[in-house]
Structures are given as structure tokens and as C-alpha cells.
């Protein structure tokens, strides 16, 4: 199998690239290294240092002619999207459209699209199912939802098979301090520097934190399953930021100062996704508990 991973030098993309190489796939990566790192890319993968919106990237896809494309390259910083919605849309919407056009010309067998729990907005449900009302409260969430709609319509018009995976809050080694799950990376780095933790809001807001290796396994399952489906990838468990801090303090083993500040615009109060469909269609379940995943993440954060 020949696979192409956009954003494969980034957080989730590099872990997926590792797993694909280990499975025996020939893997190509397209990444402009604006947020990813060259050293994240598996040495057996072929890195094309290109911007996803460039003609060169589109030409590369046509030349490589992959069997499957995992589209992970994105603008994932909610606050950046609020400050510059045009930039956010140029990557998450226009970039996705251009990618699909190249996939059609390259006769790609399937597109697996990384989406987000942010498409649901501040839904007042215990766990959001895939058919829940989508009402993003950030431009990031809106741009990913729009990308989903383009993918569905593109399939109807041109037949490109797809699976859309809506991630809850992903965390793990190699994560930077941006994106929805970035709070874990931020807190871990602050601890290693001996600095206080800053919480936006009361800390009572909840998230559905999922370990990156579980997300990788969901992507691998989507290679052969879930065609033309939109699937939540999550633990289905709510964790407050205050409870997250409690776990991190236990792992750190030292006292931690906590500073609380105002809530940020575009931040969701509560987010949790139902993962029943992922189990039914993909045969997938998360394997890592939050404490286990946080412990693994903590071990990989370098001392400052």
C-alpha cells in the first residue's frame, strides 16, 4: 500500500506515519514544517517539504498516486482562527478543496479526513452523537465543518471514497501548545520548567481527552472500514480541567501553583463525544486510560 499523509511532520500525523511505515506501507509526507518538525518524520518515509496550498504539492500527489490519503494538515489553533478567520479558511477549506481535486486526478482510492469535536459547538448533551446539531462557536470549528461538507459533495459529484473522523481532544508526545488538546502540552511544559499553571476560566469546563496512539489506530481502521461515514473518535468520558490538573500533579509528584484567569473567546464549555459508531463501523475502541496516557506524555516532555 502507498499512503500519503498531509501534515505528517506534525503531532498526530507523525505518529500515524510511524505506524504506517511499521505496517509495511510506502509513505509520503507533505508538510511545510510551519508547525511540524523534520525530526518527527520517520526516516523511511519520503518527506516533501511543500505547502498544501501550493501547485507543487498538488503535482506531487498526482505523481505519487497514493492508494490512500490521510489529510491532517490544518490550522488547528482556535484563537488564531478567531484572530484571522481568512487565514484559517485558506488552509482548512481551500486547502482541502485543492487536495480533493488532486486526489481525483491521481485516482486516489480513499481520503481519510481529520475533523474535530469543535464542529458541535457548545452542545448541551452528555455525549454528542454524529447526527447531533452542528453549531461551531469558533472559525476553526466552522472551517473544519465546511471541509466536511465539501468532501461529502465531492463524493456525490466525483465518487472519491472518504471517511471523516471527528476527534475529541487529542494529546500525547510531540504535541505543541496549540490546538484543542494543547492544554495538556502546555501544562506538561510548565511543570518541567517549574512554572505555575494558568487556567482559562473556572477549570470546571470539561473535555474528552484521547491519547494520540488511539487516534492512530482509528485512522488505520478507517483504511478498510467506514466508507462515506462520519465517525467520532473519542473516549466518551468527560474530564474537567481541574481533574486533569489533579492527575498531572499526581504524576509530577510535586506541588503546583494554579492561576485562574478569564475564559477565552471561542472556547467550548463542555465537550464529549459518543464513540459507539466507531466501535460498530471501525471495530475500534480507545485502549489508553487518561492517567496512562498522561504518564506516557509526561515521560516524553524534555526538562527545560
By annotation, the residues acting in catalysis are 140
Residue with cell 487516534: 215
Ramachandran assignment for 228, one of left (phi > 0), alpha (psi -120 to 50 degrees), beta (any other): left
Strands 68-71 and 110-116: parallel
Q: Which of 208, 99, 79, 96 lies closest to 141, judged by CA?
A: 79
Element (H, E) at 171: strand 169-171
Cα(233)–Cα(168) distance, integer angstroms: 6
Work out the number of other CB atoms within 10 angstroms of the CB of residue 235: 22
- Please, are residues 70 and 114 in contact by the beta-carbon 8 Å criterion? yes
Amino acid at each position: 500500500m502507498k499512503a500519503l499523509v498531509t501534515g505528517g511532520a506534525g503531532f498526530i500525523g507523525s505518529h500515524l506515519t510511524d505506524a504506517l511505515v511499521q505496517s509495511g506501507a510506502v509513505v509520503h509526507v507533505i508538510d511545510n514544517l510551519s508547525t511540524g518538525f523534520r525530526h518527527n518524520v520517520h526516516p523511511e518515509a519520503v518527506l516533501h517539504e511543500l505547502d498544501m496550498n501550493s501547485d507543487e504539492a498538488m503535482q506531487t500527489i498526482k505523481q505519487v498516486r497514493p492508494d490512500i490519503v490521510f489529510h491532517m494538515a490544518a490550522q488547528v489553533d482556535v484563537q488564531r482562527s478567531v484572530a484571522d478567520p481568512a487565514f484559517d479558511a485558506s488552509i482548512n477549506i481551500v486547502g482541502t478543496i485543492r487536495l480533493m481535486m488532486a486526489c481525483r486526478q491521481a485516482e486516489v482510492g480513499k481520503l481519510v479526513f481529520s475533523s474535530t469535536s469543535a464542529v458541535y459547538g457548545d452542545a448541551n448533551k452528555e455525549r454528542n452523537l454524529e447526527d447531533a446539531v452542528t453549531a461551531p462557536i469558533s472559525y476553526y470549528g466552522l472551517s473544519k465543518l465546511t471541509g466536511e461538507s465539501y468532501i461529502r459533495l465531492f463524493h456525490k459529484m466525483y465518487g472519491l471514497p472518504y471517511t471523516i473522523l471527528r476527534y475529541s481532544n487529542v494529546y500525547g508526545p510531540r504535541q505543541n501548545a496549540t490546538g484543542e488538546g494543547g492544554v495538556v502540552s502546555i501544562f506538561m511544559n510548565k511543570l518541567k520548567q517549574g512554572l505555575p499553571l494558568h487556567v482559562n476560566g473556572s477549570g470546571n469546563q470539561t473535555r474528552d481527552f484521547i491519547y494520540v496512539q488511539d487516534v492512530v489506530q482509528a485512522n488505520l481502521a478507517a483504511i478498510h472500514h467506514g466508507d462515506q461515514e462520519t465517525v467520532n473518535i473519542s473516549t466518551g468520558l468527560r474530564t474537567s480541567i481541574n481533574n486533569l490538573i489533579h492527575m498531572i500533579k499526581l504524576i509530577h509528584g510535586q506541588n503546583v501553583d494554579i492561576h485562574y484567569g478569564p475564559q477565552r473567546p471561542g472556547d467550548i464549555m463542555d465537550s464529549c463525544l459518543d464513540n459507539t459508531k466507531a466501535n460498530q463501523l471501525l471495530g475500534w475502541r480507545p485502549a489508553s486510560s487518561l492517567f496512562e496516557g498522561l504518564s506516557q506524555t509526561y515521560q516524553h516532555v524534555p526538562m527545560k
